[in-house]
Amino acid sequence: MANHDPITSAKAQEATHNFAFRLATPSDIPALETMIATSLRGLATQHYTNAELDGSIGYLFGPDTLLIHDQTYFILHPIDSPSTICACGGWSFRRTLYGADTAPGRMPEARDPTKERASIRAIFTHPDWARKGLGTMMMRYCEMKAREGGFHRLEMGSTLSGVALYEKCGYVKSGKREQVNLPNGEVIRIVHMIKDGDETEINGVADGKT
């Protein structure tokens, strides 16, 4: 819906305390791989072809184990079912902007929070839980964690399917786009987006504690 406000939906979900955040662990990787693939095939088909999804899932789109190692990747789940992945996402102090372990252009060096942006990474919502504010709830949580890590300016490499949502959440296109060549000969387009610090947007984020 054109008038849908994702921040309002996320705050409503946060207020219910029906969901909680937890750190993703190496044991979650198989479930995350399945969930991310399901999310893309269920929610991104209006923006990417089946061939583009076939070539990108598991190569470009998938878990980044370095984020799990850094303890900056999270799972959002129903309060009574920690193994159910409603949404996942993270943030990073490293220079890699997006992508799974196998993606090209990885840059694991740390960023300087006084000069550089933290990246919001790999936010995906399971189709069964989509359009309920949970993806935005995850994004807000990651933004809060990035700020706790000392970063007050953010960036992301957005899928085409995520651009409209992120614009409603305060991100703007920087003007940079990337095209990633895939192993099957297809090309995926990624949009660079940025957001400058606004503490008022983070106030009231649920901390996931119960």
Domain range list for the chain: 6-99+108-201
Summarised one tens digit per residue, pLDDT across range 88-145 is 999 999 999 999 999 998 999 999 999 999 999 999 999 999 999 999 999 999 999 9
Q: Is residue 68 within 8 Å of 25, Cβ to Cβ?
A: yes
Two tokens, residue 106:
């990885």
Two tokens, residue 101:
């372990």
Determine whether domain 6-99+108-201 maps to CATH 3.40.50.2300: no
- pLDDT-based confidence at residue 3 (cuts at 50, 70, 90): low
Instruction: Say which residue the tokens 């996942």 belong to.
Output: 88
Torsion of CA 2, 3, 8, 10, to 10 degrees: -20
Summarised one tens digit per residue, pLDDT across range 26-37 is 999 999 999 999
- Whether the pLDDT of residue 205 is over 70: the answer is no
pTM, 2 dp: 0.89
Summarised one tens digit per residue, pLDDT across range 150-199 is 999 999 999 999 999 999 999 999 999 999 999 999 999 999 999 997 54
Q: Is residue 125 within 8 Å of 39, Cβ to Cβ?
A: yes
Summarised one tens digit per residue, pLDDT across range 6-23 is 888 889 888 888 999 999
